[in-house]
Structure formats: C-alpha cells, structure tokens
Amino acid sequence: MHSVNLNRFPSEKLTQVFDALPFFHQLKSDLPQDYQTLFNHSKIVIAEMHEAIIRTGEFDSWFYFVLSGSLCVYLDESSSVPLGHIYPAEVVGALAIMHDTERSATVRVSGNKRCVLLAVDYTPFGELDDVSQISVEGKIALLRFVSERTEARLRAYDQQMPGTDLTARLQKQPMLSSDASTIDALHYWYYRIDALAGLLKDWNLTLENLDDYHPPLVAPSAELIHDIEQLYFG
C-alpha cells in the first residue's frame, strides 16, 4: 500500500473528501475540535489490485473509509471465497481496534482497479473513559456510526438467509434509554459494538459469498478521486 500524508494535497480537495463522508461531515458540524484531531491523524492510502489492507491475526491502530473501489472480506489469508464486500463511503477495520483485539478477517482489494481509502489512526481515542483528545460526544459519534453500519449489514444478511435467529439475537440486545452524551451512553455503545462484533464473527463463519449489503451512502465523486490520484501519481 502507498500511504500519502494529507499535506501532499490541496486543502480544498481534502475538504471535499472529508465532507463526502457522512461521519466526518456531521462531526465537522457538531464537534469541530474532534474533527480537527482526527483530520490530523489521517492519511490517504492507495492499495493496488488484490492487495490486502488488513490481515487476519494482525494488530494495528488504523481503520479505513473507502473512497473508491471495493474490498472483499475473507476469513483468513488462505480463503478464496469472500464473506462479504465493502463499498465506497463504508468504514472497515474499526471493530477490532475498538476492543483492542487482533484482526478477525483479511480484507483485500477486489476487482481490477486500485482502491483509494482514507486511513484514520484510532490512537487519539485512547482508553474508553479517556477524553483528553476526543470528547465523550466524539467517541459516541464514532461508536454509534460503526454500530449502525454493522447492524444494517447483519440485518441484510438475515434477510438473505430466512429461518436464522439473527434478527432475534439482535432484538435481545439492550437499547439505550436516551441519547444523552454521557459516560453511561459511551459505555452502552461500546458494549453494543462488542455484541455486534460477536454476531458478525459468528456469521462470517457460515456465510458463502452472499449478495452483499449495498449501503445507501453517497461516495466521493469519481472526479474528486481522479484528482486525488493524479496529485499522487502525476
């Protein structure tokens, strides 16, 4: 993979990239200080065809937003049948680092095109109750975003495999009584993510190349990504 520091790109292009991602667009509006902290801990990553961006068993602090191209998820390095697919504007790699565990899947570039990603270092989030760099509200925002995307993917899997107990297991998860930005709410979203990650891992062991969930998210424009690639490759 090619990692490119953000200072290589004009600020107006970077603003368009971040604004095109729903999570960052909302964070910039609601929590500009947290937005700036994560901006300062981000980089553009360019991965070539079939290249792995995450490998089963590894450990690191980076998660990714797909800007262009697509990714395939595999159980491990030797697997040839994908468990699922990740498309532009989706997030990948956050579940493991949120709970300080090794990667549980291998993620590779799919198709015959390179993949452009925004890589974000999770390090500023620190320990769960540490709000020295990212606020409680900022932590909840990311946990909630990842939780909602993971749950949407699980529900899509359940619809494609009738007769399973996934929906029932999802419904058994406790719900937050309010949307307050408190330490209690932070802990709720943290443990909900943990439960969803467990469900996803269980399902990854049984899935065989389902028609995967296509997220209703708007990705950065092809013209913008072309400009980013041109700035890097010339």
Interval 170-189 mean pLDDT? 77
Who's near 187: CB < 8 A, 6+ residues apart? 128
Show the CA angle centred on residue 71, arms to residues 61 and 211, nearest 5°: 130
- The CA dihedral of 9, 11, 15, 18, to the nearest 10 degrees, is 40
* Dist. CA 129–CA 125, nearest whole Å: 9
* Beta carbons of 151 and 97 less than 8 angstroms apart: no
Q: What pLDDT is stored for residue 33 in this prediction?
A: 98
| Residue bearing the bigger pLDDT, 169 or 53 | 53
Q: What pLDDT is stored for residue 104 in this prediction?
A: 84
Question: Directed axis angle between helix 32-40 and helix 11-19, to 10°?
Answer: 120
| Least confident window among 61-70, 73-82, 174-183, 203-212 | 203-212
Who's near 196: CB < 8 A, 6+ residues apart? 95, 147, 150, 151, 154, 173
Instruction: For residue 17, give the nearest of 217, 229, 220, 230 by alpha carbon.
Output: 220
SS3 130: coil
User: Percent of the chain beyond pLDDT 90?
Assistant: 41
pLDDT surpassing 80 at residue 159: no
The CATH architecture of the domain made up of 2-233 is Sandwich (2.60)
* Dist. CA 81–CA 75, nearest whole Å: 8
Please report which confidence band the pLDDT of residue 184 belongs to, taking 50, 70 and 90 as the band edges. Answer: confident
* Dist. CA 66–CA 118, nearest whole Å: 6
SS3 110: coil
pLDDT surpassing 70 at residue 206: no
* Beta carbons of 134 and 30 less than 8 angstroms apart: no
- Residue 74 is inside which H or E element, if any? strand 71-74
Q: What pLDDT is stored for residue 163 in this prediction?
A: 63
| Least confident window among 9-18, 73-82, 133-142, 204-213 | 204-213
Who's near 35: CB < 8 A, 6+ residues apart? 18, 24, 27, 28
Give residue limits of the domains in the chain: 2-233
Q: What pLDDT is stored for residue 135 in this prediction?
A: 96
- With the C-alpha atoms ordered 176, 138, 129, 6, is the resulting torsion angle positive or negative? positive
pLDDT averaged over every residue in the chain: 84
pTM: 0.86
Interval 124-147 mean pLDDT? 94
pLDDT surpassing 60 at residue 78: yes
| Least confident window among 27-31, 129-133, 144-148 | 144-148
Please report which confidence band the pLDDT of residue 224 belongs to, taking 50, 70 and 90 as the band edges. Answer: confident
pLDDT surpassing 80 at residue 202: no
